[in-house]
Amino acid sequence: MCQVVVITGGSAGIGRATARLLAARGARIGLIARGRDGLEAAGREIEALGGQAVVVPADVADAEAVERAAERTEEAFGPIDVWINNAMVSVFSPIRDMTAREFRRVTEVTYLGVVHGTQAALRRMLPRDRGLIVQVSSALAYRAIPIQSAYCAAKHAVLGFTDALRCELLHDRSHVKVTMVHLPAVNTPQFGWVANHLSHRPAPPDPLYQPEVAARGIAFAIDNPRRDVYVGSTTVAALYAQRFLPGLTDRYLARNAWEGQFAHELDDPGRPSNLWEPLPGDHGAHGRFDDRAIERSTQLWMTTHRQGLAVAAGGLAGLFLLLAARHRG
C-alpha cells in the first residue's frame, strides 16, 4: 500500500529531494510551503516520478493553516501515515545585531512550525493508534555555533519538545512513533535566500553534502523508525564534542566557525531574503555549491547497514577466537 506523506518545507532543498525520493516509491504526498511556484513545480515532479501530489501553500508558523493543510491532504489521499517536519528559516548575524522580531520569526517557523505540524499529525494519528512523525533536525540541535543563534536555539527547542513527546507516547502506550533525523551541512538554496546581517555571502562549511544524502537518511528513518538517525560524520562529531569537550569546542568554534560560514565574495545588502515572504520562482533542491558537495555519506551507509556490520564483526571475532584456539592447541 502506498504511503500518505506530508512534507513541510517541501518546495525546495531537503524537502524537495525527499519528495522526489518518496515519489519514486509511489507515495502520495502533501506538500506544504509558502512559495506557490516551487510547490507547483515539485508537484509536477512527483507526478512524473510515479507518485501523487497535493500542494498546499501555507506558513507553518500559522497553526490553523497547518491544520487546513492536513485536512486537505487527507481529503485527497486518506489517512496520513508519515508527517515530516522540515520547514525552517534562519538569520546569519551576531546576536548583538539581531532584532527581537527576527528572533521571534525564526522561532515561529523553525520551532513552532514543528509543534504545529506535530499537533496536526497527532490529532489524526492518535485516534488510529498508528503513524510516524519525522523531525528533520541538525547537528546544531546538540552544538550551537556563532552567527546562527536563533536557528540553533530553535533546533535545541525541537529536541526538547520531541523528547517530551516520546515520553508521553510511551506513557499512553501509543503505537504512534517519532524519530529525529540529524543532518550535517547540506547544499540547499537556503544560503542564497537566508537573511544576512554581515558583509559576505553565507556559505556552508565542509564537508558539505548533497540534499539527496539527507533524503536517503529521512527515507531510512521512515522504513526503520529508530529514536535517532544521524547523517554525516560531522553530525556525530558535534554530538560527542559537545558531550565530552564542550569548553574546548567553544574555543574551536570561536576561532573557526565565524569566517567558516561565509564565502569570499561580498553579499548584496539589498538582496531579498525568505525570512518574511517566500521568494518567487522554483529554486529546486540544490544550492550553488555542487562543485564541492558530497553525494555519499560513509557514516549513513554504516547506519543503514549496521545489522550486517554487526554480523560481520561477530564472524571476524569468531574466526579470531577459532584461530587463537588452534594456535594454543
Q: Which of 27, 37, 31, 2 is nearest to 14 (CA)?
A: 31
Are 15 and 38 in contact, with CB atoms under 8 Å apart? Answer: no
For cell 550486517, name the residue: 308
Cβ-based burial of 257 (10 A; exposed 0-12, middle 13-18, buried ≥19): middle
Catalytic residue list contains 230: no
- Rounded to an integer, what is the distance from CA 211 to the centroid of its chain? 10
Q: How far apart are CA 187 and CA 109, in angstroms?
A: 20
- Residue 153 CA to residue 159 CA, distance in Å, equals 10
Catalytic residue among 142, 151, 209, 230: 151
Catalytic positions are 151
